[in-house]
């Protein structure tokens, strides 16, 4: 039986990936923050249904010795490095902490497998934020990086680390450059979940307004399980490589909100307020990915923009009325 180690198993992506790997018959190990175990309401809810089928390792990926020991003990066949501080800020605050969680962790994992188990395959969750303020749109695997946040800089650095361990040391490493991907498991700080949660609260008479930043901001939004299937597909190729994981379709925050509210028979304009504190630097070219290379492996998306919103609404309605 193959063994997979997921960092960040309690998050949206980690929990979805764990389910997919279990379905494929893998033995699944998951690194999870100790506070998540101590405060189950916080993180364990995403993996509640599979918690007895996976082995959880409470530790921090920023602890090099803990990383080394975990890999030595488990001897995984595959590692999916998804753990990260995932909220993007352009303010350049807490830079060292961001580099520690999003870059140093990658180094500790890669150097440990180089020491212990050179045959272990490695997937890294890259981000469209590596393109930051892009020079062209859509972006492909050949587009120039131009990160504008510490988050993006840490992701680009990890990308080059993987590339070097692949080219120079012969490890099987792949970066999936993932654009925004959503599901009911998204955290509330991200705009999609914020819109869905508030729209449902308004529908149920529990809130009166939705405060957003730039309504004209556009994103390439996809469905998180499709992106985790892409990670599995990428890792099943005979040769390691890097891929854009995106839909190639853009929608604005306004369109997202309009669709969500209209699915609840509400008119968005009656409830939206703008607060500039949520505004980000403006973009000349939008972050939109070209997924042609990945499609060449047979990948496709399973849900449209409206279908993603519909399922997020349905699940939120169930959660808020139970
Ligand atoms: P993003 O996601 O930064 O793209 O990163 P987020 O949902 O935070 O922002 C998307 C867009 O919405 C605009 N926006 C608002 N955003 C938030 N959070 N709150 C608001 O009220 C609001 N109003 C408008 C933003 O300006 C932005 O343009 C996500 C994360 O998952 C990263 O970890 C990942 O790497 C990238 O996607 C790909």
Q: 178 near 125, Cβ under 8 Å?
A: yes
Q: What is the number of the ligand 1 atom nearest to the C-alpha of 275?
A: 21
To the question of domain 186-220+250-287+303-321 being in CATH 3.90.79.10, the answer is no
pLDDT tens column, 109-139: 999 999 999 999 999 999 999 999 999 999 9
Region 87-94: mean pLDDT is: 77
Q: Which CATH architecture has domain 3-181+223-245?
A: 3-Layer(aba) Sandwich (3.40)
Q: How far is CA 53 from the centre of its chain?
A: 23
Ligand 1 pocket list (CB less than 6 A): 86, 88, 127-129, 178-180, 189-192, 194, 212-214, 217, 219, 253, 278, 280
Q: What is the pLDDT of residue 43?
A: 60
Q: 70 near 105, Cβ under 8 Å?
A: no
| Nearest CA owner, ligand 1 atom 21 | 212
* Whether the predicted pLDDT of 42 surpasses 70: no
DSSP summary character for residue 104: I
Beta strand spans in 191-285 (E): 210-212, 218-219, 222-223, 243-245, 251-252, 272-274
CA distance 235 to 173: 9
Q: 108 near 149, Cβ under 8 Å?
A: no
CA distance 179 to 108: 25
For the question of whether the overall pTM of this predicted structure is more than 0.85, the answer is yes
List CB contacts of 252: < 8 A, sequence separation 6 or more: 215, 216, 217, 218
List the domain boundaries for the chain: 3-181+223-245, 186-220+250-287+303-321
* Whether the predicted pLDDT of 1 surpasses 70: yes
Q: Is 32 helix (H, G, I), strand (E, B) or coil?
A: strand
* Whether the predicted pLDDT of 89 surpasses 80: no
Q: What is the pLDDT of residue 34?
A: 83
pLDDT tens column, 211-248: 999 999 999 999 999 999 999 999 999 999 999 999 99
């Amino acid at each position: 039986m193959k063994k997979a180690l997921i960092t960040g198993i309690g998050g949206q992506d980690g929990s979805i990936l764990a389910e997919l790997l279990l379905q494929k018959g893998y033995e699944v190990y998951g690194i999870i923050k100790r506070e998540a175990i101590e405060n189950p309401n916080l993180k364990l809810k995403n993996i509640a249904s599979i918690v007895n089928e996976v082995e959880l390792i409470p530790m921090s990926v920023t602890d090099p010795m803990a990383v080394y020991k975990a890999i030595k003990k488990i001897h995984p066949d595959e590692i999916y490095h998804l753990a990260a501080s995932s909220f993007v800020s352009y303010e350049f605050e807490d830079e060292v902490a961001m580099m520690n969680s999003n870059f140093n962790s990658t180094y500790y994992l890669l150097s440990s497998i180089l020491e212990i188990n050179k045959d272990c395959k490695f997937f890294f969750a890259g981000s469209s934020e590596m393109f930051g303020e892009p020079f062209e749109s859509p972006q492909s695997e050949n587009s120039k990086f131009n990160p504008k946040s510490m988050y993006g800089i840490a992701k680009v650095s990890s990308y080059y680390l993987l590339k070097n361990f692949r080219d120079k040391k012969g490890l099987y490493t792949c970066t999936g450059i993932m654009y925004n991907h959503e599901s009911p498991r998204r955290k509330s700080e991200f705009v999609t979940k914020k819109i869905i949660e508030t729209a449902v609260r308004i529908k149920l008479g529990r809130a009166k307004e939705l405060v957003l930043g730039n309504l004209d901001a556009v994103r390439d939004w996809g469905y998180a399980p499709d992106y985790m299937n892409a990670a599995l597909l990428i890792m099943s190729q005979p040769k390691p490589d890097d891929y854009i994981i995106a839909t190639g379709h853009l929608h604005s925050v306004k369109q997202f909100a309009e669709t969500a509210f209209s699915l609840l028979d509400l008119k968005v304009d009656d409830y939206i307020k703008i607060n500039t504190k949520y505004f980000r630097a403006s973009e000349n070219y939008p972050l939109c990915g070209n997924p042609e290379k990945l499609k060449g492996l047979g990948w496709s998306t399973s849900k449209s923009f409206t279908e993603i919103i519909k399922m997020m609404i349905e699940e939120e309605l169930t959660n808020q009325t139970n």
